[in-house]
């Protein structure tokens, strides 16, 4: 055996460990949209509630206790522990809200033993973290020995596993009964009116409660077709704000305890995973792939791939109006940036002529983002070093579009996910 051959097992070992795999943010569970949009948007939305829960626990000389319902491999812990203080200054290094002295307990429960094993493999050594196999549709709160908790958390569509309303109502009522003073519950469903599943929109939600959710997006187009018969299917509840409000008020009525939705949030409005598959909407465009590309370092994206052509659906004027307004704002920003890039003179470090004025009739958020992009291109367009378009301007356009989306969302079930924060307060009279 040659010297080189002798050394080959070291490479094979590295490949088997998975650590040698080519990592990119363009595909996979932790693609760029998940990292920079979905996780971050959820963090921004939850931040004031987590802060309030920390403050309330601290006022009673307690640290924060969290129960993650359907924790999987503890992704929720990673999401929550990444929440940052809103106004951290540039010089600050410690910016996370859930620092070691703030967290008392994180308990994750799930029905899937393999995922729990994975979670234990990562966090089993942390004495503040517990994992338990539990069916959350089965009255487990009554026998749970580690509660009560301040934050009952769920993420990425987990509440859609409650296929009938009874199961969700019961769980919320059980949580309310096991809460000592106050707590928050984060309910995370699939949005009923996501553009991804335009085919499934209905004005009679009672007739189509659950969708057949095919996990096809993990493969590219050809592989998807080859594997079609062996793809995994999940039966998942679609949720609008009205339906969620009914479930929440019913849980209050049943438990006789104050339970109220504080806020709803639409996550991933045009960027859900099924945009790229067209599985449930023949008009869907691969916008997730485009957004993944825009946030990928060292990669130049054609900005035309971001232009949305929203196709209205007859019989849904409230959705058509909403989506059309959003699409117009989004496209206006993208087209403005294309124009700014055309106008920019790198050698002389300025625009060749004054960019077109921003009409005062545009929505405030759009005007702000157009102004910001104008300043960014002017500030770094000449930089040369470090690929300013790929590594600064494109990601900043991604953040500007994210801001537009977040500030124009209405928490009505128009995103891939509908997230609701529910407050339970035993000191208040039920409404
Ligand atoms: C959409 S995944 C979310 C996983 C993880 N929280 C995340 O954010 O990636 C839903 C999780 O709920 C779990 N689950 C589904 N039905 C359940 C049940 N009845 N009881 C407990 N866990 C359940 C699944 O095993 C899965 O881990």
d(CA 283, CA 303): 19
What is the pLDDT confidence band of residue 102, given thresholds at 50, 70 and 90? Answer: very high
Q: Give the model's pLDDT for residue 60.
A: 93
Q: Note the pLDDT tens digit of each residue in 255-289.
A: 999 999 999 999 999 999 999 999 999 999 999 99
Token pair recorded at residue 253? 């009525």
d(CA 277, CA 216): 7
* Mean pLDDT, the chain, integer: 94
Percent over 70 (pLDDT), the chain: 96
Pocket residue to mutate for ligand 1, from 39, 71, 110, 417, most atoms within 8 A of Cβ: 110
CA 72 to ligand 1: nearest atom: 27
DSSP state of 84: B
Task: Answer with the residue of higher pLDDT: 357 or 140.
Answer: 357
Please give the model's pTM, rounded to 2 decimal places: 0.94
Pocket residue to mutate for ligand 1, from 71, 72, 167, most atoms within 8 A of Cβ: 72
Query: For the chain, which residues make up each domain, given as ranges?
Result: 24-269+415-425, 287-408
Q: Give the model's pLDDT for residue 87.
A: 78
CA nearest neighbour of 328 among 277, 404, 411, 220: 404
What is the pLDDT confidence band of residue 17, given thresholds at 50, 70 and 90? Answer: low
Closest residue by Cα to atom 16, ligand 1, is 161
Check pLDDT > 90 for residue 221: no
Q: Give the model's pLDDT for residue 16.
A: 66
3 state DSSP class of 334: helix
3 state DSSP class of 36: helix
CA nearest neighbour of 293 among 410, 395, 208: 395
Q: How much distance in Å is there from the Cα of 72 to the middle of ligand 1?
A: 5
**Pocket around ligand 1: residues whose beta carbon is below 6 Å from it?**
70-72, 75-76, 110-112, 115, 134-137, 155-158, 161
What is the dihedral sign for C-alpha 254, 141, 123, 184? positive
When pLDDT is averaged across residues 147-163 and rounded to a whole number, the result is: 97
**Domain boundaries 24-269+415-425, CATH class:** alpha beta
Q: Which residue has the tokens 């319902």?
A: 69
d(CA 404, CA 419): 18
Closest residue by Cα to atom 7, ligand 1, is 75
Compute how many other C-beta atoms are within 10 angstroms of the C-beta atom of residue 6.
9
Q: Give the model's pLDDT for residue 218.
A: 80
CA angle 378, 383, 387 (to 5 degrees): 110
Q: Note the pLDDT tens digit of each residue in 341-374.
A: 999 999 999 999 999 999 999 999 999 999 999 9
Q: Note the pLDDT tens digit of each residue in 104-139.
A: 999 999 999 999 999 999 999 999 999 999 999 998
d(CA 99, CA 83): 10
């Amino acid at each position: 055996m040659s010297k080189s051959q002798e050394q080959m097992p070291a490479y094979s070992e590295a490949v088997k460990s998975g650590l040698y795999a080519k990592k990119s943010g363009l595909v996979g569970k932790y693609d760029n949209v998940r990292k920079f949009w979905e996780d971050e948007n959820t963090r921004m939305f939850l931040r004031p509630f987590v802060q309030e829960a920390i403050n309330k626990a601290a006022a009673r000389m307690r640290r924060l206790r969290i129960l993650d319902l359907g924790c999987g491999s503890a992704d929720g812990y990673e999401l929550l522990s990444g929440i940052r203080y809103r106004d951290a200054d540039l010089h600050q290094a410690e910016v996370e809200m859930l620092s070691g002295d703030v967290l008392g307990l994180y308990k994750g429960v799930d029905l899937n033993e393999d995922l729990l094993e994975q979670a234990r493999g990562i966090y089993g050594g942390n004495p503040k973290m517990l994992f338990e196999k539990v069916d959350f549709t089965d009255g487990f709160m009554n026998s749970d020995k580690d509660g009560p908790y301040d934050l009952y958390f769920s993420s990425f569509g987990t509440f859609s596993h409650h296929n009938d309303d009874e199961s969700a109502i019961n769980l919320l009522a059980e949580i309310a009964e096991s809460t000592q003073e106050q707590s928050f519950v984060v309910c995370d469903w699939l949005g009923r009116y996501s553009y991804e599943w335009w085919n499934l929109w209905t004005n009679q939600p009672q007739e189509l409660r659950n969708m057949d959710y095919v996990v096809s997006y993990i493969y590219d187009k050809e592989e998807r077709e080859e594997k079609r018969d062996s793809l995994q299917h999940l039966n998942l509840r679609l949720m609008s704000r009205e339906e969620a409000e009914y479930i929440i008020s019913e849980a209050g009525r049943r438990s006789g305890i104050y339970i109220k939705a504080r806020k709803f949030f639409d996550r991933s409005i045009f960027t859900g995973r099924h945009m790229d598959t067209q599985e449930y909407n023949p008009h869907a465009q691969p916008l997730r792939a485009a957004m993944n590309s825009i946030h990928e370092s060292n990669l130049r994206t054609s900005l035309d791939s971001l232009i949305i052509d929203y196709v209205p659906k007859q019989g849904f004027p409230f959705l058509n109006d909403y989506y059309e307004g959003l699409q117009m704002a989004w496209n206006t920003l993208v087209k403005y940036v294309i124009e700014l890039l055309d106008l920019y003179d790198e050698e002389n470090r300025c625009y060749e002529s004054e960019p077109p004025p921003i009409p005062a009739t545009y929505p405030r958020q759009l005007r702000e983002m157009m102004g910001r992009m104008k300043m960014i291109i002017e500030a770094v367009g000449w930089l040369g070093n470090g690929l300013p378009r790929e590594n600064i301007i494109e990601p900043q356009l991604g953040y500007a579009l994210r801001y537009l989306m977040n500030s124009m969302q209405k928490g009505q079930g128009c995103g891939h996910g509908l997230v609701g924060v529910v407050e339970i307060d035993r000191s208040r009279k039920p409404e």
